A = this chain, B = another copy of it.
Amino acid sequence: MKILITGGAGFIGQRLAKALLERGELNGKPIDEIVLLDITLPGDAALTNHARVRAAKGDISDRAVLESYIDDRTEAVFHLAAIVSGQAEADFDLGMKINLDASRALLEVCHAKGHKPRVVFTSSVAVYGGTLPDVVQDDTALNPQSSYGTQKAIAELLLCDYTRRGYIDGRVLRLPTISVRPGKPNAAASSFASGIIREPLKGERSTCPVDGATRVWLLSPRGAVEALIAGCEIDRAKLGNRPVLNLPGLSVSVNEMIEALREVAGEDTMKLIDFQRDERIEKIVSTWPGAWNTARAEQLGLTGDKNFADVIRAFIDENRS
């Protein structure tokens, strides 16, 4: 089988590809090729040089690009490519083009092939907003308060309808905020949730733009990759008329994250965090749920992380040079 990963040069895309190569199979079938499609090529040479990896540079909002990388042997698509929250809020048209139009084109191209590929779509806490219960339930209404959240919610609805009609075999995985991401800060409103751990561990100062009491819902990169693969392997029949899963995460306050950093890396590291509130970011992040009920995902075999200190330890481990 062939697998397509959009956003394949991204951090999660590359980790997912490596995990899939290690397994060698998906849904019980050997993996012959993994296409990593993105606007840039992946940085990891071990990956791009791998015999079963095809790194492709292309714009997913161009249907011809999608058509050239999806064929009858493409049995799984992980659609990770997105314009992140901060950028989609700043550049409305770009967010619509990639988060909505390209997602729709992807579904259309998959549908046109006629063999119902599994399409795993990553959605987000950002589909929620407004007045929320402390713990968001499966039947809590979506009320996105950002253009990113709106576009993700719309792509979810499209994927569900294409699945209901039998055009594809789609699954929506709503991801908690991924932390700790390696690399540099990005334009996501949630970028600080990695920055306040990552930068201090390098001995650099980091600014936290939200109040310490702010509760976030986190998943480690390893947890995210495991969930993507498990989500792709769930039997269609078990998903019923609702192929949307809120993934397990850790509900922690920013202060608790910082306390975990102190526990793992000491007082001096922790002191490298400065608080400087940024209203633009706070406005977006404060509308996201700090926790949601994940009973359904757990019943289907999806698990999350144990505690945030362990997540930090794993991050240190994985990024040791």
Kindly state the separation between the CA atoms of A140 and B157 in the bound complex, as whole angstroms.
Answer: 15
Q: Are B138 and A141 in touch, CB under 8 angstroms?
A: yes
Answer whether residue A144 sits at the interface, using C-beta atoms and an 8 A cutoff.
yes
Name A241's closest neighbour in chain B (CB-CB).
Answer: B130
Kindly state the separation between the CA atoms of A132 and B287 in the bound complex, as whole angstroms.
Answer: 25
Q: A165 touches which one: B92, B139, B242 (CB < 8 A)?
A: B92
Chain B neighbourhood of A147, CB < 8 A: 161, 165
The 0/1 profile, CB within 8 Å of B marked 1, for residues 128-170 of chain A is 0111000000111111110100100110011011001100000
Kindly state the separation between the CA atoms of A293 and B106 in the bound complex, as whole angstroms.
Answer: 37
Smallest beta-carbon distance A159→chain B, Å: 10
Q: What DSSP secondary structure best describes chain A's contact surface?
A: loop
Kindly state the separation between the CA atoms of A141 and B130 in the bound complex, as whole angstroms.
Answer: 13
Kindly state the separation between the CA atoms of A161 and B147 in the bound complex, as whole angstroms.
Answer: 6
A residues 240-274 touching B (CB-CB < 8 Å): 241-242
A residues 212-250 touching B (CB-CB < 8 Å): 241-242
With known contacts A157-B150, A157-B153, A142–B143 Cβ distance under 8 A = no
**Interface size in chain A (residues, C-beta < 8 A):** 24
Kindly state the separation between the CA atoms of A141 and B154 in the bound complex, as whole angstroms.
Answer: 14
Kindly state the separation between the CA atoms of A181 and B161 in the bound complex, as whole angstroms.
Answer: 29
Q: Are B141 and A141 in touch, CB under 8 angstroms?
A: yes
Q: Are B158 and A154 in touch, CB under 8 angstroms?
A: yes
Q: Are B142 and A141 in touch, CB under 8 angstroms?
A: yes
Name A127's closest neighbour in chain B (CB-CB).
Answer: B157
Smallest beta-carbon distance A18→chain B, Å: 35
Chain B neighbourhood of A144, CB < 8 A: 157, 160-161
Chain B neighbourhood of A241, CB < 8 A: 129-130, 143, 145
Kindly state the separation between the CA atoms of A150 and B158 in the bound complex, as whole angstroms.
Answer: 7
Q: Are A242 and B143 in touch, CB under 8 angstroms?
A: yes
Smallest beta-carbon distance A280→chain B, Å: 14
Q: Are B139 and A140 in touch, CB under 8 angstroms?
A: yes
Kindly state the separation between the CA atoms of A215 and B161 in the bound complex, as whole angstroms.
Answer: 25
Smallest beta-carbon distance A74→chain B, Å: 22
A residues 153-196 touching B (CB-CB < 8 Å): 153-154, 157-158, 160-161, 164-165
Kindly state the separation between the CA atoms of A231 and B139 in the bound complex, as whole angstroms.
Answer: 27
Q: Give me the 9 closest cross-chain CB pairs, A-B, nearest first.
A: A150-B161, A139-B141, A141-B141, A154-B154, A150-B157, A130-B241, A154-B157, A153-B157, A147-B161
A residues whose Cβ falls under 8 Å from a Cβ of B: 92, 129-131, 138-145, 147, 150, 153-154, 157-158, 160-161, 164-165, 241-242
- Given A139-B143, A143-B160, A154-B154, list of 16 further CB < 8 A pairs? A130-B241, A130-B242, A131-B139, A138-B141, A141-B142, A142-B157, A143-B241, A143-B242, A144-B160, A147-B165, A150-B157, A150-B160, A150-B161, A153-B157, A154-B157, A154-B158
